[in-house]
Amino acid sequence: MPLQKLFVYLGKKNMGLTIHYRGNLKSAELLPDLINEIVDIVKIYDWKYDIFEKEYPDNKFYEESFNDAYGIVFSPPKCEPVYLTFLSDGKMANPFYLKYYKEDKENGKKMTYWVFTKTQYAGIEVHKVIIQLFRYISKKYLVDFEMMDEGRYWETNDVQVLQESFARYNFIMDKFAEALDSFTEIENDDNDPESMINKLIDYLKNKFGDQGFDFKIISPDDQE
């Protein structure tokens, strides 16, 4: 795995403030209303969006399948996509991971269906809007909804807590970038990717290990 590839996936998994969420659509009949309401909202902010299947056959859920996705995805500036998309049985899921869900189920892996969106670079105001939108949507359209907000705004509804969380993550990102620059200056004569990755992990553990960070090599197949 190239060094840059390692950092892309490290970043998506561990570095950068992210929200994690899962749940189920209350009723298949609600899907068109959910899509229309989200379209109206994102148009106010001029955010991009994509619509998948707009309604379920006969307005009913059916046996879990990974062939189609239902719902809408929208993308605020500098933010990863926000997924209000569902499987055939109404479970919330990332529509771009359908083949991986299918492979995992066929291999007997436990299915959790957590969806995640990194908001780190979108900023505090966008994060607030997304969380408030989920507060509304989850009550009106979803059941068994769970949210884990690394900004702690979902749990506290406290802007100061959110600001402190963003400040901490920004500090971490800055320090991580500084460490990477230092490492590449030290190890730029090593052309073996595997050797460089192992040296990098050791370097980061030595530099940040006492601050509660857990550095791992994560491949694309390890992403949830």
Whether 85 and 72 have beta carbons less than 8 Å apart is answered as yes
* pLDDT tens profile 128-142: 999 999 999 999 999
Decide which of 103 and 84 is more confident.
Answer: 84
Give the model's pLDDT for residue 24.
97
Cα radius of gyration rounded to whole Å, the chain: 20
**Dihedral of the CA atoms 192, 181, 222, 114 (nearest 10)?**
-170
Residue 183 has which token pair?
Answer: 């490492």
The HSE-up count of residue 24 (CA atoms within 13 Å, CB side) is 12
Question: What integer pLDDT is reported at residue 105 of this predicted model?
Answer: 77
64 or 127, which is more confident: 127
Q: Which residue, 65, 168, 76, is CA-closest to 122?
A: 76
Cβ–Cβ under 8 Å, residues 20 and 155: no
So where are the chain's domains?
A: 3-9+162-222, 18-149
**Residue 160 φ/ψ, nearest 5 degrees:** -65, -40
Please list, in sequence order, all residues whose beta carbon lies within 8 angstroms of the beta carbon of residue 106, skipping any fewer than 6 positions away.
none
Q: Which has more pLDDT, 215 or 66?
A: 66
Distance (Å, whole) CA 25 – CA 85 = 9
Tokens of 89: 């049985």
Q: Is residue 32 within 8 Å of 55, Cβ to Cβ?
A: yes
In the block, tokens 């553990």 appear at 205
Instruction: Give 187-219 pLDDT, tens digit per residue.
Output: 555 556 667 666 766 766 666 655 545 555 544
Query: pTM score > 0.85 for this model?
Result: no
Q: According to the per-residue pLDDT averaged within each range, which of 20-34, 55-69, 105-119 is highest? A: 20-34
The overall average pLDDT reported for the chain is 81
Q: Tell me if 178 sits within 8 A of 207, measured CB to CB.
A: no
What does the pLDDT read at residue 189? 56
149-186 per-position pLDDT tens digit: 999 999 999 999 999 999 887 766 666 666 666 665 55
